[in-house]
Each structure stands twice: as structure tokens, then as C-alpha cells.
């Protein structure tokens, strides 16, 4: 092996060792203050658990925040859009890598909504949600449907409301969001949404 080849091999090895550190730094610096160092989220800040979202879903949502796919009159959305808009593409990519390495923290982040009948929610989930999000709410990337596991019940209800109110899924480039907006019209009664949220929160335990 020539000297140049040895140097190239050494640089590749150093890069491989340092990449996780760079990615972790990106997450801890720009994301952890809201989403927690473990990725478990913070319901009081409206920040969801990130540990069970796929890379494809995370990248799509981050793009959406940067490109105005959500109604920024919602305070939590406004905060996230501002935070993501200040980051360059490399930092975002590194943060997504770090999130994918975080362990499953669903059991320490879930809180049931104040109201909601999980038994009734089970039937509603099967009827309206399971075909896309899976029978155990683990998601389906092929359908653009994220995992719902580990998400706070109030967060789930709030996001469903945003879809049904047209505050998510209105942008022409948000293909899967538009799909969810159409489907969300099936459940308009807030109490039924709470029931589904309670059931999904129960699945995470």
C-alpha cells in the first residue's frame, strides 16, 4: 500500500469515528433543549418524542418546516419553523442521524389525554387509522404514515385537529399531509379524537 493510500485509509477511519460525535453535537445543540437529550420530547413545550420516527419522515417534516408546509400562526409550529429555518442542510442531516441512534424512549414520554375512552378508541383506530399507520401504530413509510408510538396523547389530538382544520396538509408539496387532511375529516368530534389518542398512548406502554 502506498503512502497516499495509507493516508486515505486513515482519513476514512477518522471520519467514521468522528461522524457520530458531529451528529450527536448537532442534535444536542439544536434539538435537545425542546425534545430532550434522550429524544423523549417535552409535552409542556409541544415537542414530540422523536425516537420512533423514521429518517424519511423526519427529513420530510423538517423540509416542511423550512418551506412553509404548516400554518405558522400556531405557536409551537412557529417556534419550530424559526428554529429549523436557522439551520443549514448539513446540520439538519447530522441531527437526523443522531435521532436515529437514540434508543426507544416511548415509555418515559407518554401521557394519556385528560379525556378519552381507550376502548372506544381501539375500534375507531381500527376503522380509520390502522390501514395506514399499522395495526400496532408502528407506521408505514411506503404510505408516508409515521409511527404514532411514544407520542403524547395531547400532541396526537392537537396534530389531528391541525389536519382536520386545514392547518396541516394544505401545501401543494405536502403529498402525504394532503392525504391525511382528507382522511381526518372522518372524525370531526373532538371527543372521538381524544378516544383514538388515548388508545394509541396505551399501545406505547
CB 163 within 8 A of CB 87: no
Backbone angles phi, psi at 79, to 5 degrees: -60, -45
- pLDDT of 42 strictly over 80: yes
**More confident call, 8 vs 105:** 105
Q: Please check whether residue 188 lies inside any domain of the structure.
A: yes
Q: What percent of the chain has pLDDT over 70?
A: 85
Q: Please check whether residue 6 lies inside any domain of the structure.
A: no
So what's the pLDDT on residue 92? 93
Q: How many domains are contained in the chain?
A: 1
So what's the pLDDT on residue 9? 47
Q: Please check whether residue 159 lies inside any domain of the structure.
A: yes
Distance between CA atoms of 174 and 57, rounded to whole angstroms?
12
Report which of 47, 157, 161 is spatially closest to residue 113, judged by C-alpha positions: 157
Average of pLDDT values for 44-69?
A: 95
**Which residues form the domain of 158?**
17-203
Q: Please check whether residue 12 lies inside any domain of the structure.
A: no
**More confident call, 12 vs 156:** 156
pLDDT, tens digit, 9 for 90 and up, residues 82-135: 999 989 999 999 999 999 999 998 876 555 555 789 999 999 999 999 999 999
Number of other residues whose CB lies within 10 A of the CB of residue 124:
18
Q: Please check whether residue 189 lies inside any domain of the structure.
A: yes
Backbone angles phi, psi at 62, to 5 degrees: -65, -40
Q: Please check whether residue 155 lies inside any domain of the structure.
A: yes
pLDDT, tens digit, 9 for 90 and up, residues 134-192: 999 999 999 999 999 999 888 999 999 999 999 999 999 999 999 999 999 999 898 99
CB 64 within 8 A of CB 174: yes
Distance between CA atoms of 135 and 116, rounded to whole angstroms?
19
Q: Please check whether residue 4 lies inside any domain of the structure.
A: no
Number of other residues whose CB lies within 10 A of the CB of residue 143:
13
Distance between CA atoms of 67 and 82, rounded to whole angstroms?
11
So what's the pLDDT on residue 19? 46
For the chain, the distance separating the N- and C-terminal CA atoms, rounded to the nearest angstrom, is 54
Q: Please check whether residue 38 lies inside any domain of the structure.
A: yes
Which residues, in sequence order, are bridge partners of residue 39? none
Amino acid at each position: 500500500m502506498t503512502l497516499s493510500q495509507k493516508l486515505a485509509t486513515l482519513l476514512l477511519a477518522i471520519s467514521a469515528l468522528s461522524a457520530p460525535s458531529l451528529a450527536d453535537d448537532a442534535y444536542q445543540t439544536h434539538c435537545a433543549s425542546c425534545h430532550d437529550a434522550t429524544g423523549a420530547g417535552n409535552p409542556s413545550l409541544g415537542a414530540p418524542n422523536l425516537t420512533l420516527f423514521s429518517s424519511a419522515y423526519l427529513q420530510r417534516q423538517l423540509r416542511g418546516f423550512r418551506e412553509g408546509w404548516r400554518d405558522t400562526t400556531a405557536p409551537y409550529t412557529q417556534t419550530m419553523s424559526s428554529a429549523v429555518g436557522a439551520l443549514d442542510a448539513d446540520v439538519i442531516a447530522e441531527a437526523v442521524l443522531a435521532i436515529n441512534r437514540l434508543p426507544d424512549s416511548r415509555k418515559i414520554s407518554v401521557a394519556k389525554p385528560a379525556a378519552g375512552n381507550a376502548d372506544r378508541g381501539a375500534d375507531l383506530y381500527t376503522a380509520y387509522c390502522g390501514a395506514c399507520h399499522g395495526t400496532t401504530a408502528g407506521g408505514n413509510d411506503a404510505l408516508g404514515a409515521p409511527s404514532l408510538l411514544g407520542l403524547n396523547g395531547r400532541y396526537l389530538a392537537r396534530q389531528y385537529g391541525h389536519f382536520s382544520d386545514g392547518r396541516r396538509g394544505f401545501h401543494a408539496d405536502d403529498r402525504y399531509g394532503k392525504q391525511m387532511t382528507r382522511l381526518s375529516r372522518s372524525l370531526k368530534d373532538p371527543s372521538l379524537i381524544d378516544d383514538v389518542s388515548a388508545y394509541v398512548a396505551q399501545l406505547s406502554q
